[in-house]
Amino acid sequence: MRGEVVDTTVPASSPAPPSPTPLVRRAGFWLVVVAAGYSVAMLVLVAPHLPLGADESLYATQVSPRVPALTWTAARARGMTYLIAPIVQVTDSVVALRSYLAVLAGAALTAAYWPWLRALRRPGTVPVAAALFAGLWTTLLYGAEDLPNAWVAFAAVAATGWFARYGQHPARIASESGGSPGTSLDAGSRRSPGDRLVAGSGRPSDRRALIGVAVGLAAIALLRPSDAAWVALPLLATMALVRRWRRPGPLLAVAGGCLAGAAEWIVEAHLRYGGLAARLHEASRQQGGLGWHPIGVLYQLRALNGPLLCRPCSLHHLAAPHAWLLRAWWLAIPVLVVAALVVARRQRRFAAIALPTAVGASIALSYLLTIGYAAPRFLLPGYGLAALPVASVLVAAMSAAHRGRMALLATLVLLCVLHEAAQLATLHRVAHRTDVAAAGAAELRRLGIHRPCVLVGVRRTQMAYRLGCTTTNPAGMPGYVGRQQVVFLTWHPDDRRAGLDWRRYPMPRPGHARHWYAFVAPAP
């Protein structure tokens, strides 16, 4: 209209959505800090104090050039021997082995949770999850031990993370939901600023994600083939149920990774055990018969703060009131995981939380319900995956608390401090054990026992690694008498399985350990 003043200025453009890169880098930095603290904690609290266990000694003898390899059983896989070979080839120092593994475990923790930095809507959840997992006494203890469970946990978290990354590729979600690239974290959901952090630029290629899945599952199968199967099952179910994963690539990555990692175990089954079915049967027999053992849940609850192996497992300790107080955090895990799933469903990011929940539940239930004994380390893969939904619900609670946020933060910090104090107390009690086997090996050296020698009985595996001896069971003992030095180790001062002309020696009892004795056969 005439006389109307027209504003010709260009309207200011709306602010661009925040770039995901600074947030991811910031969360990645804190993830590295958590991993470094994890390694330092093991170097200080575990490496100088923890003696070598029987299973650890068995793994070490397979690759040590200084001692004969001890008998390999059907249930074991050789992945752990490859991991420790570089250090065991150089030295038989237990502290060096522990320190080497502690450093590697810190790097593995970083690699395990790294793919989740872009798989979760809030990258800050990832270092929180890593800290929750790394703070457990079992994670601190077994990260520095040459046992496979912690390493299975790292590989399972990584493989699941890369699987989630593949399914959340923005172009694929857009094609399925009818929107533009980066539409959402879950197909069909409404885009939010937080979703842009996940679906924005800088996503890895499909090939990179699938390689991550395959490598992670291959590592699990190389360490424990049965664990790889329990991790793969929920991933295969996800492919069947969810369209975005129903593609040849993920199927080849999951199946190919499992087969590649288990190939050596399968070949060895045919060469040494008469076939795969025969090896599986023998492995089940060695574990006391795998099957339906729902009481395993109570066994794991009993072993939560020790002993390291509950076999046979007595439940009378659970009757004490303080036993339930110290186990409250374990009972809270399923409650927090369910809460995380509810919150994720309401925020339309269900897939990213449901996936680690399903995989973690699968591998945890395999130990809770199918084995008739317990060990705290069995649940490490489940803890590593459950840490992600637990951390997500804690971070979501902080984000939603507009009023009383500081009070909630103070409460959470207090609970975490109390929880960590209890974990470190358990770690100190478990790790600071007297090395009775080392004292016994020193005593046998003093008595003149040296290679070639055969040890039979209690603590034989740990002592054989230190002395360079081999081992056998009591039934095989007569075959060595007269050919090698034979030592029979027993709790009983008058054990009749020893010969009448064998000399009996009381063994050292550092830290008031249980009485035990060595019966030495006449020199050959």
Contact 163, 213 (CB under 8 A): yes
The pLDDT of residue 19: 52
Q: Quote the percentage of the chain above a pLDDT of 70.
A: 88
Q: What percentage of the chain's residues is helix, strand, coil (to nearest 5)?
A: 60, 5, 30
Strands 485-490 and 503-506: unpaired
Give me the sheet containing 453-457, strands edge to edge: 470-472, 453-457, 485-490, 517-520, 503-506
CA 355 – CA 385 distance, rounded (Å)? 9
CA 193 – CA 366 distance, rounded (Å)? 39
Residue at 246: amino acid letter? R
The pLDDT of residue 405: 78
Contact 415, 450 (CB under 8 A): no
Mean pLDDT rounded to a whole number for the chain: 88
* CA dist list (Å): 234 to 8, 100, 249, 281, 362: 59, 33, 16, 25, 7
Q: Is the pTM above the cut of 0.75? A: yes
Structure tokens at 522: 């006449």
Alpha helices (H) along 224-327: 225-241, 248-272, 276-286, 296-302, 321-326
191: pLDDT strictly greater than 90: no
337: pLDDT strictly greater than 70: yes
Structure tokens at 241: 């149920």
Q: Quote the percentage of the chain above a pLDDT of 90.
A: 73
For range 79-88, the mean pLDDT: 97
For range 295-303, the mean pLDDT: 93
Helix (H) or strand (E) holding 505: strand 503-506
Of 199-213, 278-292, 362-376, 454-468, the one with minimum mean pLDDT is 199-213
The pLDDT of residue 180: 40
The pLDDT of residue 23: 63
Q: For helices 79-88 and 206-223, what crossing angle results, to 10°?
A: 80
> Could you tell me the pLDDT band of residue 314, with boundaries at 50, 70 and 90?
confident
3-state DSSP assignment of residue 339: helix
The pLDDT of residue 149: 97
Torsion of CA 374, 377, 378, 382, to 10 degrees: 130
pLDDT tens digits, residue range 362-399? 999 999 999 999 999 999 999 999 999 999 999 998 88
* CA dist list (Å): 30 to 129, 356, 375, 411, 418: 11, 21, 31, 22, 22
Of 199-203, 214-218, 237-241, the one with minimum mean pLDDT is 199-203
Comparing CA positions, the residue from 494, 432, 442, 485 lying closest to residue 463 is: 442
DSSP letter at 244 equals G
The pLDDT of residue 446: 95
Residue ranges covered by each domain of the chain = 20-431, 436-520
> Could you tell me the pLDDT band of residue 407, with boundaries at 50, 70 and 90?
confident
Is the pLDDT higher at 320 or at 506? Answer: 506
155: pLDDT strictly greater than 50: yes
179: pLDDT strictly greater than 50: no
Q: How many H-runs (helices) and E-runs (strands) does the chain carry? A: 22, 5
Q: Which residues fall within 8 angstroms of residue 424, CB to CB, at 6 or more apart?
A: 45, 137
pLDDT tens digits, residue range 86-98? 999 999 999 999 9
Strands 485-490 and 517-520: antiparallel
3-state DSSP assignment of residue 180: coil
520: pLDDT strictly greater than 90: yes
pLDDT tens digits, residue range 439-484? 999 999 999 999 899 999 999 999 999 999 999 988 889 889 989 9
pLDDT tens digits, residue range 117-153? 999 989 999 999 999 999 999 999 999 999 999 999 9
CA 454 – CA 337 distance, rounded (Å)? 51
Beta-sheet strands, E only, within 275-369: none
194: pLDDT strictly greater than 50: no
Is the pLDDT higher at 185 or at 501? Answer: 501
187: pLDDT strictly greater than 70: no
Contact 367, 378 (CB under 8 A): yes
Structure tokens at 450: 């040296």
